[in-house]
Amino acid sequence: MKLLDRLLNPRDIRKKLGLNQEEFWTRIGVTQSGGSRYESGRTMPKPVKELLRLVYVEELDLSRVRKEDFEIIDYLKTQQTDLYKKLKKAARSDAKKGDE
């Protein structure tokens, strides 16, 4: 079993968060019955695994993400690398302050 698969054990994540299957799987667009099958060992497709990682590991609120956000990020990364690095550093610094 790959390390990422072990880290993304959906049942463990769900139980740690205290969510039932419907609450947990609905946030990433999977039915409760589909999620139950994944928790029982059925192989998760890569897109579902990635959504699981984004929502429950990276704690990304999918309802706030827009296509233009990714376009801006891509532009900054490729065309304004210094600005991108500066913004990334500032965002991380602010996030750490919020955790204190």
- What residue spans define the domains of the chain? 3-62, 67-99
Residue 1 has a pLDDT of 40
- What's the helix, strand, coil split of the chain in %, to 5? 75, 0, 25
**Mean per-residue pLDDT over the chain, rounded:** 89
pLDDT confidence bin for 7, thresholds 50/70/90 = low
Q: How far apart are CA 95 and CA 30, in angstroms?
A: 30
Q: Is residue 5 predicted with pLDDT exceeding 60?
A: no
Q: Concatenated DSSP letters for 59-96?
A: ---GGG--HHHHHHHHHHHHH-HHHHHHHHHHHHHHHH
Residue 36 has a pLDDT of 96
Extract the tokens encoding 65: 């993400």
Mean pLDDT, residues 40-60 taken together: 92
Return the residue matching tokens 């955790």. Answer: 99
Residue 8 has a pLDDT of 72
Residue 57 has a pLDDT of 87
